[in-house]
Structure 1
Amino acid sequence: MSGEPTKPRSGDAVSARAEANGKLPQAKTSASEDIAAFVAKARAMSPHAPGAKGRLIFALDATMSRQPTWDMACALQADMFREASALGSLDIRLVYYRGFNECRATGWISDSTRLASLMSKIDCRGGDTQIGRVLSEARREAASSGVRAMVFVGDAMEERVDELCAKAGELGMLKVPVFMFQEGHDATAEQAFREIARLTGGAWCRFDPGAAAQLRELLRAAAAYAAGGREALLRLAKTASGAAKLIGQMK
């Protein structure tokens, strides 16, 4: 495949230079944005307009216990691009957290080979969850350049759930559904993930540890939505169980 990330604003230029050096920039956060202003700006970008290029934030927990799932996601991410290619095009921004207070994001990537190469260079490191920072990065990007959806893959939640819900509510105002894909059966994570999905108009789904086929179906469904919107997801739901699970929960 060919193609490069969207030609950059200054922040993306930093991302490109950092990637070239084998490092990715810290994801930015802001607690003082004016909600009304960024909602208006995001709607003006019209990421949901017919023919608009799909943009998907692909967020992963990269703490130590997640290495097997990280490797699996790396192998499956090309399926998202393949699903989207039948509907138009897809840009993906990888966001991940790991270690002590480390949360990083790539620029926008339209090439599955490039994304796989970047992911293969990242190792998982022990640390607490930083879902709040991921949601803040999604909000910032949605306000500045438009985002059609966000996917999160993880198995735990160690933060203040009310603070996460406040951030999720802002993404809901921006009409960015979050698809929360939970590995395993942690009850605390499930409660938080379900609420984040509800507040954003997205969906929560569980997959079994190491179940590549289940995760593949969920990622394909999210990519279909990001590339073609609700109608594309409805069409896929007729033949794919992952898409049916998502559309059944979305508002």
Structure 2
Amino acid sequence: MSDKELRTKSDKQSIDQFIHQVRKLPKTSGEQGRLIFALDATASRGATWDQACHLQSELFLATKDLGGLAIQLCYYRGFGEFKATGFVSKAGQLLNLMNGVSCLGGRTQISKVLTHARSETRAKAVKAVVFIGDCCEESVDELCHIAGELGMLKTPVFMFHEGADAHAKAVFQQVSKLSGGAYAPFDRNSPQALKDLMAAVAVYASGGAKALQNYSSGSSPEVKRLSQQIR
């Protein structure tokens, strides 16, 4: 059997195991958890945006037995453009929103993502923020200050880092730690890792830390490392 066939078989087993694990989790009160799904939509992000579009349904699949999930899409691109949609509760709705966005060159605007998340969770609790990006061109002190406020509000930020930019790694790690979230690197050439990470945060947003711990026990090394960071 070829390496590709072995990987395909392994991926299918992981997905089957995950679905079985989630179905065994205790039911919640039925109230949907709210999650902000934020992406860098600057020019360098085109390929990963397309990948995220293909994988976004995992966020809903992972939580269908835990009361579900309401997701808001946020993104920045171009010259100071920042957008936040309404909250949606179906994969098709989120996919339509994402398909309506094209990536444009520009500087990072992570501070706008965090500031928006702070405003949203003050109005009504946001269980988690997922951010996917590859670099940071902003004041570290400002980002860390807002991240600390999110930590006080119990809205953890999960920073998924594409690539190997050392400065971005250091900043993303600080933001995730101060907010009570977690940092995880990934390679866009390995979509399974991103898929697992997205599903794990969805489980956390819908079912809490215990649900994430239960899920991670039978999941990938990336998810185990993620869950170990949650305080």
Q: Which runs of 5+ in 2 are unaligned?
A: 1-27
**Structure 2 counterpart of 1:145:** 124
Q: Offset at 1:72? A: 0.4
Note if contact 1:98-1:124 (Cα within 8 Å) is conserved in structure 2: yes
1:246 is matched with which residue?
226
Contact 1:150 1:178 in 2 (8 A): yes
| Distance in structure 1 (CA, Å) of the matches to 2:155 and 2:223 | 17
Contact 1:84 1:227 in 2 (8 A): yes
Distance of aligned partners of 1:230 and 1:50 in 2 relative to their CA distance in 1, 3 Å threshold: farther
2-side partners of 1:100 and 1:210: how far apart? Answer: 29
2:15 matched residue in structure 1: none
Aligned counterparts of 1:236 and 1:103: Cα–Cα separation in 2: 33
Tell me how far apart the structure 1 counterparts of residues 166 and 31 of structure 2 sit (CA, whole Å): 38
Q: Single out whichever of 105-114 and 208-217 deviates more from structure 2.
A: 208-217
Aligned-pair distance for 1:210?
A: 2.9
- What is residue 180 of structure 2 aligned with on the other side? 201
Aligned position for 2:69: 90
Counterpart of 1:191? Answer: 170
8 Å contact kept, 1:69–1:210: no
The 3-state SS of whatever aligns with 1:57 is strand
Cα deviation for residue 50 of structure 1 reads: 5.0
CA offsets 1:144-181 (integer angstroms, 9 cap, x no match) = 01100000000000000000000101100000111000
Deviations 1:42-92 (Å, cap 9, x if unpaired)? Answer: xxxxxxx95432110000000001000000001100011000112111000
Task: Work out the number of aligned pairs and report it.
Answer: 203
Per the alignment, residue 217 of structure 1 pairs with: 196
Gaps of 5+ in 1: 1-48
Secondary structure of residue in 1 paired with 2:88: coil
Matched with 1:76 is: 55
CA distance, structure 1, for counterparts of residue 53 and residue 65 of structure 2: 21
The yes-or-no answer on 1:59 pairing with 2:69 is no
Identity level (%): 50
Q: In 2, distance between residues paired with 1:50 and 1:167?
A: 30
Give the one of 100, 103, 106 matched to 1:124.
Answer: 103
Q: Distance in 2 between matches of 1:224 and 1:243?
A: 11
Structure 1 CA distance, aligned partners of 2:121 and 2:134? 25
Q: Partners of 1:162 and 1:101 in 2: how far apart?
A: 20
Q: How big is each residue's C-alpha offset from its partner over 1:108-149, in whole Å with a ceiling of 9 and x where there is no partner?
A: 010110110110110000000000000000000000011000
Deviation at 1:238, TM superposition (A): 1.0
1:88 is paired with a residue whose SS is coil
Q: Residue type matched to 2:86 in 1?
A: G
Deviating beyond 2 angstroms after TM superposition, the runs of 4 or more aligned structure 1 residues are: 49-52
The separation in 2 between residues aligned to 1:180 and 1:156, in whole angstroms, is 11
Letter in 1 for 2:194: L
Distance in 1 of aligned mates of 2:54 and 2:191: 9
- Give the letter for the 2:167 counterpart: T
Q: TM-score, normalised to structure 2's length?
A: 0.86
C-alpha distance in 1 between matches for 2:189 and 2:113: 23
Sort the Cα spacing of 1:54 and 1:213 in 2 relative to 1 into closer, same or farther, 3 A.
same
Task: Please state how far the C-alpha of 1:245 moved relative to its aligned partner.
Answer: 1.8
Report the AA paired with residue 130 of structure 2: V
Matched letter for residue 184 of structure 1: G
Distance in 2 of aligned mates of 1:119 and 1:136: 21
Partner of 1:3 in structure 2? Answer: none
Contact 2:209 / 2:230 at 8 angstroms: preserved in 1? Answer: no
Write out per-residue CA displacement over residues 206-242 of structure 1, whole angstroms, 9 at most, x where no aligned residue. Answer: 0013321110010000000011001110110111124
